[in-house]
Structure 1
Amino acid sequence: MTDRTLTVDAQTHPSGVTVLTVGGELDHHTAPSLTHALEDTPFARGSRTVLDLSGLLYCDSTGITVLITAYHRAQATDSRLYLAGVNQDLMRVFRIVGLDQVLSFEPTVESAIEALR
Protein backbone atom coordinates (compact mmCIF):
# COMPACT_ATOMS: atom_id res chain seq x y z
CA MET A 1 0.00 0.00 0.00
CA THR A 2 1.37 3.40 -0.94
CA ASP A 3 1.45 6.38 1.36
CA ARG A 4 -1.11 8.78 -0.05
CA THR A 5 -0.20 12.17 1.28
CA LEU A 6 -0.85 15.66 0.05
CA THR A 7 0.53 18.86 1.45
CA VAL A 8 -0.98 22.27 0.82
CA ASP A 9 0.69 25.43 2.04
CA ALA A 10 -0.95 28.83 1.53
CA GLN A 11 1.17 31.97 1.39
CA THR A 12 0.63 35.52 0.24
CA HIS A 13 3.30 36.69 -2.17
CA PRO A 14 4.57 40.28 -1.67
CA SER A 15 2.66 41.20 -4.84
CA GLY A 16 -0.60 40.23 -3.12
CA VAL A 17 -1.04 36.99 -5.08
CA THR A 18 -2.20 33.99 -3.03
CA VAL A 19 0.09 31.03 -3.70
CA LEU A 20 -1.02 27.53 -2.76
CA THR A 21 1.93 25.14 -2.88
CA VAL A 22 0.69 21.59 -3.44
CA GLY A 23 2.85 18.50 -3.06
CA GLY A 24 2.34 14.75 -3.09
CA GLU A 25 -0.54 12.82 -4.58
CA LEU A 26 -3.89 14.38 -5.43
CA ASP A 27 -6.49 11.63 -5.55
CA HIS A 28 -9.80 10.53 -4.09
CA HIS A 29 -8.28 10.14 -0.63
CA THR A 30 -6.34 13.41 -0.50
CA ALA A 31 -8.53 15.75 -2.57
CA PRO A 32 -10.42 17.06 0.49
CA SER A 33 -7.18 18.69 1.72
CA LEU A 34 -6.87 20.80 -1.43
CA THR A 35 -10.62 21.40 -1.55
CA HIS A 36 -10.55 22.83 1.99
CA ALA A 37 -7.53 25.00 1.21
CA LEU A 38 -9.28 26.35 -1.88
CA GLU A 39 -12.43 27.02 0.13
CA ASP A 40 -10.28 29.10 2.50
CA THR A 41 -8.72 30.99 -0.41
CA PRO A 42 -10.22 34.44 -0.89
CA PHE A 43 -11.60 34.24 -4.42
CA ALA A 44 -13.11 37.67 -4.96
CA ARG A 45 -13.37 40.20 -7.76
CA GLY A 46 -9.83 41.01 -8.87
CA SER A 47 -8.10 38.49 -6.61
CA ARG A 48 -5.21 36.47 -8.03
CA THR A 49 -4.28 32.91 -7.12
CA VAL A 50 -1.48 30.61 -8.22
CA LEU A 51 -1.51 26.88 -7.58
CA ASP A 52 2.13 25.81 -7.42
CA LEU A 53 1.96 22.19 -8.56
CA SER A 54 5.71 21.69 -8.91
CA GLY A 55 5.60 19.17 -6.04
CA LEU A 56 2.55 17.30 -7.33
CA LEU A 57 3.48 13.74 -8.23
CA TYR A 58 0.11 12.29 -9.20
CA CYS A 59 -3.37 13.53 -10.02
CA ASP A 60 -6.41 11.35 -10.73
CA SER A 61 -9.87 12.32 -11.98
CA THR A 62 -10.93 13.47 -8.51
CA GLY A 63 -7.97 15.84 -8.43
CA ILE A 64 -8.83 17.12 -11.88
CA THR A 65 -12.35 17.80 -10.63
CA VAL A 66 -10.92 19.86 -7.74
CA LEU A 67 -8.89 21.92 -10.22
CA ILE A 68 -11.91 22.47 -12.46
CA THR A 69 -14.00 23.47 -9.45
CA ALA A 70 -11.34 26.04 -8.52
CA TYR A 71 -11.46 27.36 -12.09
CA HIS A 72 -15.25 27.69 -11.95
CA ARG A 73 -15.04 29.47 -8.61
CA ALA A 74 -12.47 31.90 -10.00
CA GLN A 75 -14.66 32.54 -13.04
CA ALA A 76 -17.77 33.09 -10.92
CA THR A 77 -16.01 35.67 -8.76
CA ASP A 78 -14.16 37.41 -11.61
CA SER A 79 -10.80 36.47 -10.15
CA ARG A 80 -7.77 34.99 -11.85
CA LEU A 81 -6.23 31.55 -11.37
CA TYR A 82 -2.97 30.14 -12.75
CA LEU A 83 -1.38 26.72 -12.35
CA ALA A 84 2.41 26.70 -12.18
CA GLY A 85 5.19 24.16 -12.26
CA VAL A 86 3.24 21.20 -13.63
CA ASN A 87 5.64 18.37 -14.48
CA GLN A 88 5.71 16.91 -18.00
CA ASP A 89 3.88 13.70 -17.09
CA LEU A 90 0.97 15.53 -15.46
CA MET A 91 0.89 18.14 -18.21
CA ARG A 92 0.49 15.34 -20.72
CA VAL A 93 -2.54 14.04 -18.79
CA PHE A 94 -3.95 17.56 -18.47
CA ARG A 95 -3.60 18.02 -22.25
CA ILE A 96 -5.29 14.69 -22.96
CA VAL A 97 -8.33 15.69 -20.89
CA GLY A 98 -8.34 19.22 -22.32
CA LEU A 99 -7.38 21.20 -19.21
CA ASP A 100 -4.82 23.13 -21.25
CA GLN A 101 -7.78 24.56 -23.18
CA VAL A 102 -9.49 25.82 -20.01
CA LEU A 103 -6.89 26.58 -17.34
CA SER A 104 -3.93 28.95 -17.52
CA PHE A 105 -0.49 27.38 -17.04
CA GLU A 106 2.94 28.86 -16.47
CA PRO A 107 6.23 27.01 -15.97
CA THR A 108 7.05 28.69 -12.63
CA VAL A 109 5.33 30.54 -9.81
CA GLU A 110 7.25 33.70 -10.66
CA SER A 111 6.19 33.57 -14.32
CA ALA A 112 2.57 33.02 -13.20
CA ILE A 113 2.75 36.00 -10.88
CA GLU A 114 4.23 38.07 -13.70
CA ALA A 115 1.39 36.97 -16.01
CA LEU A 116 -1.11 38.08 -13.37
CA ARG A 117 0.25 41.64 -13.24
Structure 2
Amino acid sequence: MHDPVLTVTAGAHPAGPTLITAAGELDYSTAADLRELIGDTPFTPAGVVIDLTGLLYCDSTGITVLVTAYQLARSAGAPLALAGVSGSLERVFGIAGLYEIFASYPTVEQAVGAM
Protein backbone atom coordinates (compact mmCIF):
# COMPACT_ATOMS: atom_id res chain seq x y z
CA MET A 1 0.00 0.00 0.00
CA HIS A 2 1.29 3.49 -0.80
CA ASP A 3 0.78 6.87 0.78
CA PRO A 4 -1.27 9.19 -1.44
CA VAL A 5 0.66 12.14 -2.82
CA LEU A 6 -0.83 15.48 -3.79
CA THR A 7 1.14 18.35 -5.23
CA VAL A 8 -0.48 21.79 -5.06
CA THR A 9 0.84 25.08 -6.39
CA ALA A 10 -0.51 28.56 -6.89
CA GLY A 11 0.59 31.47 -9.00
CA ALA A 12 -0.66 34.21 -11.26
CA HIS A 13 -1.68 33.26 -14.79
CA PRO A 14 -0.31 35.79 -17.33
CA ALA A 15 -3.91 36.80 -18.18
CA GLY A 16 -4.63 37.77 -14.57
CA PRO A 17 -6.44 35.03 -12.62
CA THR A 18 -4.80 33.07 -9.87
CA LEU A 19 -4.01 29.55 -11.07
CA ILE A 20 -4.12 26.75 -8.51
CA THR A 21 -2.86 23.37 -9.71
CA ALA A 22 -3.58 20.09 -7.94
CA ALA A 23 -1.97 16.86 -9.14
CA GLY A 24 -2.03 13.40 -7.61
CA GLU A 25 -4.57 12.03 -5.18
CA LEU A 26 -6.97 14.38 -3.39
CA ASP A 27 -8.38 12.50 -0.43
CA TYR A 28 -8.73 12.58 3.34
CA SER A 29 -4.99 12.30 3.93
CA THR A 30 -3.96 14.99 1.41
CA ALA A 31 -6.87 17.45 1.31
CA ALA A 32 -5.41 19.71 3.99
CA ASP A 33 -2.69 20.85 1.56
CA LEU A 34 -5.22 22.08 -1.00
CA ARG A 35 -7.55 23.43 1.70
CA GLU A 36 -4.71 25.54 3.14
CA LEU A 37 -3.65 26.84 -0.28
CA ILE A 38 -7.22 27.80 -1.16
CA GLY A 39 -7.60 29.49 2.23
CA ASP A 40 -4.50 31.59 1.50
CA THR A 41 -5.65 32.51 -2.02
CA PRO A 42 -7.02 36.01 -2.59
CA PHE A 43 -10.33 35.75 -4.40
CA THR A 44 -10.26 38.92 -6.51
CA PRO A 45 -12.26 40.12 -9.53
CA ALA A 46 -9.53 38.60 -11.76
CA GLY A 47 -10.77 35.20 -10.62
CA VAL A 48 -9.34 31.82 -9.72
CA VAL A 49 -8.84 28.77 -11.92
CA ILE A 50 -8.26 25.39 -10.28
CA ASP A 51 -6.44 23.06 -12.67
CA LEU A 52 -7.34 19.43 -11.96
CA THR A 53 -5.74 17.99 -15.11
CA GLY A 54 -3.20 15.99 -13.07
CA LEU A 55 -5.69 14.77 -10.48
CA LEU A 56 -5.74 10.97 -10.39
CA TYR A 57 -8.28 10.47 -7.61
CA CYS A 58 -10.69 12.56 -5.58
CA ASP A 59 -12.85 11.39 -2.67
CA SER A 60 -15.61 13.20 -0.79
CA THR A 61 -13.08 15.12 1.30
CA GLY A 62 -11.59 16.54 -1.89
CA ILE A 63 -15.03 17.45 -3.17
CA THR A 64 -15.65 19.31 0.08
CA VAL A 65 -12.44 21.33 -0.43
CA LEU A 66 -13.56 22.30 -3.93
CA VAL A 67 -17.01 23.31 -2.66
CA THR A 68 -15.27 25.45 -0.02
CA ALA A 69 -13.38 27.20 -2.83
CA TYR A 70 -16.70 27.83 -4.56
CA GLN A 71 -18.14 29.33 -1.36
CA LEU A 72 -15.11 31.59 -0.85
CA ALA A 73 -15.27 32.79 -4.45
CA ARG A 74 -18.99 33.44 -4.21
CA SER A 75 -18.59 35.37 -0.95
CA ALA A 76 -15.87 37.51 -2.53
CA GLY A 77 -17.80 38.02 -5.79
CA ALA A 78 -14.91 36.46 -7.68
CA PRO A 79 -15.20 34.14 -10.66
CA LEU A 80 -14.05 30.56 -10.14
CA ALA A 81 -13.52 27.93 -12.82
CA LEU A 82 -12.24 24.38 -12.86
CA ALA A 83 -10.06 23.04 -15.65
CA GLY A 84 -9.17 19.52 -16.67
CA VAL A 85 -11.96 17.59 -14.98
CA SER A 86 -11.80 14.22 -16.69
CA GLY A 87 -12.23 10.49 -16.33
CA SER A 88 -13.59 9.21 -13.06
CA LEU A 89 -13.73 12.74 -11.68
CA GLU A 90 -16.28 13.67 -14.36
CA ARG A 91 -18.46 10.83 -13.14
CA VAL A 92 -18.18 11.93 -9.50
CA PHE A 93 -19.02 15.52 -10.46
CA GLY A 94 -22.05 14.33 -12.41
CA ILE A 95 -23.35 12.15 -9.57
CA ALA A 96 -22.81 14.89 -6.97
CA GLY A 97 -24.41 17.58 -9.17
CA LEU A 98 -21.27 19.71 -9.05
CA TYR A 99 -21.54 20.78 -12.68
CA GLU A 100 -24.51 22.85 -11.54
CA ILE A 101 -22.31 25.06 -9.35
CA PHE A 102 -18.91 24.92 -11.06
CA ALA A 103 -17.92 26.38 -14.40
CA SER A 104 -15.73 23.64 -15.85
CA TYR A 105 -13.53 23.69 -18.95
CA PRO A 106 -11.31 21.11 -20.65
CA THR A 107 -8.16 23.27 -20.40
CA VAL A 108 -6.73 26.07 -18.30
CA GLU A 109 -6.61 28.38 -21.31
CA GLN A 110 -10.33 27.84 -22.00
CA ALA A 111 -11.15 28.50 -18.34
CA VAL A 112 -9.06 31.68 -18.32
CA GLY A 113 -10.60 32.79 -21.62
CA ALA A 114 -14.10 32.38 -20.19
CA MET A 115 -13.33 34.79 -17.37
TM-score (norm. length: structure 1): 0.95
Query: Greater CA deviation, 59-68 or 2-11?
Result: 2-11
Give the gaps of 5 or more residues in structure 1: none
- Alpha-carbon distance, 1:47 to partner: 3.3
Aligned to 2:96: 97
Give the gaps of 5 or more residues in structure 2: none
Partners of 1:47 and 1:30 in 2: CA distance: 28
Deviation digits for residues 16-62 of structure 1 (CA, Å, limit 9, x no counterpart): 11101110000011000000110111013x13000000000000000
Partners of 2:5 and 2:87 in 1: CA distance: 21
- The answer to whether 1:47 aligns with 2:9 is no
- The answer to whether 1:109 aligns with 2:76 is no
- AA at the equivalent of 1:22: A
- The answer to whether 1:34 aligns with 2:26 is no
How many residue pairs get aligned? The number is 115
Query: Greater CA deviation, 105-114 or 46-55?
Result: 46-55
Structure 1 runs, 4 residues or longer, greater than 4 Å off: none
Deviation digits for residues 39-92 of structure 1 (CA, Å, limit 9, x no counterpart): 111013x13000000000000000000000110110011001100011121111
Identity of aligned residues (%): 52
> Alignment RMSD, CA only?
0.8
